[in-house]
Amino acid sequence: MESDPVEDYRYVGARRRLIETIRSRGLDDLELLRHFDEVPRHHFLPEGVWHRAYEDAPLPIGFGQTASQPSLQAFMLKVLDPQPDEKVLEIGTGSGFFTALLARMSDRVYSVERVRELSVRARRALDAMGFQNIALMVGDGTIGWRKYAPFDVITVAAASPSVPQPLIDQLAPGGRMVLPVGSRSEQELILVTRDENGRLEEGSVQERCTFVPLLGKYGWSEDSP
């Protein structure tokens, strides 16, 4: 999975086209686009899908999981707006690509993944890129990561039937959380904010998206179909 400079060069054109696609969807913040330009997505994906790495599409990463669609990730980053002095909690490390984007935009990222093999692979890819501000944990992210709470930004990459209460509890004043909530087959993207006085607000920022299920204590049960 180590990417070498020659291999990276092959993808420059495709990456530029992906950035144009993201931009054409109204996500035109230059700084945000630069992160997509400078983090090579193929580096985080199994070699078998490298040729599709810069399509604006979810891609299989093994273990029945998928790397999310880049333009949807760009939208989530725009809504979350992580700041250089902020602490981020990510649930569903998956490939680690989104983790890398978050780490470039914030002070520190804490990311939880339930599939050990994916976490190990993501660690390898992130280390190869030299990130020093990312902590990964294998476990059930629906209970959050209490040790490092509260978080300014919380992002969940898998779909839940409702907003897990522990994640609400771990959202800092001034914090933003985005997560897909709905049925197993279709969800909407929900933004939960907590203002400086602790007051919570919740609203939909995008209808109709499809994520893999969030499996765990406050998500879908592990053995439901």
Q: Point out which residues bind ligand SAH (CB under 6 A).
A: 61, 65-68, 91-92, 94-95, 97-98, 112-115, 118, 140-142, 157-158, 212, 214-216, 219
Query: CB under 8 Å to 23, separation ≥6 — which residues?
Result: 33
Q: Least distance in Å: CB of 198 to ligand SAH?
A: 26
| Pair 137, 115: CB distance under 8 Å | no
Give the residue nearest to ligand SAH (CB).
94
For ligand SAH, which is the closer residue by CB, 80 or 174?
80
Q: Which SS3 state, helix, strand or coil, does residue 135 take?
A: strand
C-alpha 214: how far from its chain's center? Answer: 13
Residue whose tokens read 């604006």: 56
**Angle between helical axes of 116-128 and 97-105 (0-180°, round to 10):** 50
H helices of the chain, in order, are 5-10, 12-24, 30-38, 70-80, 97-105, 116-128, 165-169
Smaller CB separation from ligand SAH, 64 or 198: 64
Closest separation in Å from C-beta 20 to ligand SAH: 20
Q: How far apart are alpha carbons 153 and 193 in whole angstroms?
A: 9
- Closest approach, Cβ 197 to ligand SAH, in A, equals 30
For the chain, what is the total number of helices (H) and then of strands (E)? 7, 9
- How far, in Å, CA of 87 to CA of 69, rounded? 24
106 is catalytic: no
Residue closer to ligand SAH (CB basis): 146 or 195: 146
Nearer Cβ to ligand SAH (94/175): 94
| Tally of CB atoms within 10 A around 217 | 12
Between residues 36 and 97, which has the closer beta carbon with respect to ligand SAH? 97
Q: Which of 24, 68, 111, 119 is catalytic?
A: 68
Taking the complex as a whole, how short is the minimal distance between the CB of residue 138 and ligand SAH, in angstroms? 8
Shortest spacing between CB 13 and ligand SAH, in angstroms = 22
Catalytic residues: 68
